[in-house]
Amino acid sequence: MYFSGFCFHNEESIFEDFIQNLNKYDIYGFSYGAQKAFEWVYQGLGRDRIQRLILFSPAIFNNKSKTYKEIQINAFKKDYKKYIEKFLYLAGFEDTMKKYFYEGNLKELQNLLGYTWDNDKLKQISEYGVEIEVYLGGCDKIVDTSYACDFFAPYGRIYFIKSANHFLKIK
């Protein structure tokens, strides 16, 4: 099961190089969708069979100040089209991805920025036997990958692609 990122819909084929060996017990998500995949897995512990939780460029802003988040929200409110355009540019959006574009809204952005990744939940998922894989791009301009790497490392396997952007594409 796949969960889409902010401003995207059904874009999992972007990550086809990483998802060739998936099975029906693997749950995965990109950026904002990684948050949703994580919560889905946590809620399903003991109820659903889950083998792997795969997080592509998980949107983690635990280390960002309230002011930073408010600036993002206010910029979106002021001119959402300009905000989304800049977001896509910083993420490494390519013309081939246009078919997956979905115009995100304020509520989604608020949820994305306001989400707090919970260490205890990660630990429970890991201890339950779910394999956690995190893919990060070293040239990601959306997520602080150094922070993300340190945060997720105790709970799973980290794949750090040094020259990759938020979409895990190498330029």
Give me the CATH number covering residue 7.
Answer: 3.40.50.1820
Decide if 20 is inside a domain.
yes
pLDDT-based confidence at residue 21 (cuts at 50, 70, 90): confident
On the question of pLDDT at 170 being above 80, the answer is yes
pLDDT of residue 75: 98
Decide if 84 is inside a domain.
yes
Report the pLDDT averaged over residues 142-171: 97
Decide if 54 is inside a domain.
yes
Decide if 170 is inside a domain.
no
Q: Which residue has the higher pLDDT, 17 or 67?
A: 67
Decide if 169 is inside a domain.
no
> What pTM was estimated for this model as a whole?
0.95
pLDDT-based confidence at residue 89 (cuts at 50, 70, 90): very high
Decide if 51 is inside a domain.
yes
Decide if 152 is inside a domain.
yes
Tell me the pLDDT of the chain averaged across its residues: 96
- Give pLDDT tens digits for 33-47: 999 999 999 999 989
On the question of pLDDT at 4 being above 80, the answer is yes
> Which residues constitute the domain of residue 81?
2-161
On the question of pLDDT at 20 being above 90, the answer is no
Report the pLDDT averaged over residues 81-97: 96
pLDDT of residue 88: 97
pLDDT of residue 141: 98
Q: Count of domains in the chain?
A: 1
Torsion sign across C-alpha atoms 123, 19, 51, 113: positive
Decide if 129 is inside a domain.
yes
